[in-house]
Structure 1
Amino acid sequence: MVPPRPRRTADPAPAAGPGRPKDLGKRAAILDAAKRLFTAQGYEGVSMDAIANEAGVSKLTVYSHFGDKDALFAEAVKAHCERGVPPTLLEDRPQQPVRERLTEIATAFYAMISAPEAIAGQRMLCSPQVMDTALPQLFWEAGPRRVQDGLKTLLDARVAAGDLDIPDTGLAASQFFTLLKGEPHARMVFGCGCSGDPDMTPEAHVRACIDMFLRAYGVRG
């Protein structure tokens, strides 16, 4: 029996099999393309072919990475939220004063929800074509719920340390982000200006929200 010829360096590499890792560069390009197109054209107006063309990959590659358009939409939302409020931002830093810690999170969150693509996405989710589909739930699970759960964990740690007095940290996390969105975010979604008060800058808005939150849940001397 003749032994198999050793492979030479010039031989072509084997094709990627199902167990091989995906190309992270292509995945990132697909996500960026999806975010741009969903923002500009809405969910219904975008096809997987268009996303593939925008990303410079084949449609098969898009399906290989994400399975279907719903999953791609959810991953695009998750990527946007993780870029604006990365998981490391929600980690507790016990040595940092609680007001300073919450202000960092609030500032990043407010900047994220005020971004043009976030406003466009909010309007898309409120459209009649989308409201009765699975997309709003996909959006909630991929973005807001992750951020809210992360803050709850941080609040739990601060309550245990005696820095805050919160009977229900899940509710408090929801209230925190609801305060931050408030009227300014609603006005941006409606397209009638970022705030009813021209003197209420993003910094002032964040500071007012933190003040209210700590008046409710700060430890009394």
Structure 2
Amino acid sequence: MKAMILAAGKGERMRPLTLSTPKPLLKAGGRPLIAYHLERLHDAGIQDVVINHAWLGDQIEETLGSGQPFGVSIQYSREGEPLETAGGIVRALPMLAYPGCDWFLVINGDIWCDFDLSTLVRLAGNPPVNTDAVLVLTDNPPHHPSGDFHLNAEGLLTGDDHDRHTFTGISLLNRRLFDGLSDQAGKLGPVLRRAMARKRVRGLYHPGQWVDVGTPERLHALDRQLDGRTHDHHGQH
């Protein structure tokens, strides 16, 4: 199975940091955000990764190269003018094809999360029936108190207004979800909501850590957290 990291956004809420650096290359704990994703994908047994980019995309290619230092093989979907999330995935679909597997992982490039991606790799090997997408959800952070989607008792996601969790930006998607769509498909949210209305989207709850690194303040907080972890780790030896 392949994975896609979404890295084409301009990171406007992160200015001035993103005027000269694309958001996925911003550093926390001494490493680019995207490096943590590549490491976790490798640990989950995924070797082929597609990264889409637009804003300062050359820097992403120069920094990550072919992916060899991370133990993965990277292909780039160069958008030029950034497409929205669903459109970016549709554009990259030919690169995401894998013999005998219509599933692929998608991760937002501007998050940090300790979710074990091998959970989704196993699920792709034995997928739930009548399902086009499996989204990883977590508790609502202070800056997004109302959440995104409701996870019901059967494990299905709905757009209900009550008792919602926040979408982590980590998902297992099937090519079917994008049938009939072009790279002008817009954002992923409406595509997912249409599939939810047909009861074809499931959710997994992640009780662990998750950070939407959307502002300089949250980046600094994550940097302090990861730095502390590194120092604690070294202190034990």
TM-score (normalizing by structure 1): 0.22
Q: Which has the higher contact order (CA 8 A, sep 6+)?
A: 2
Bigger radius of gyration, 1 or 2?
Answer: 1
TM-score (normalizing by structure 2): 0.21
Structure ranking higher in helix proportion: 1
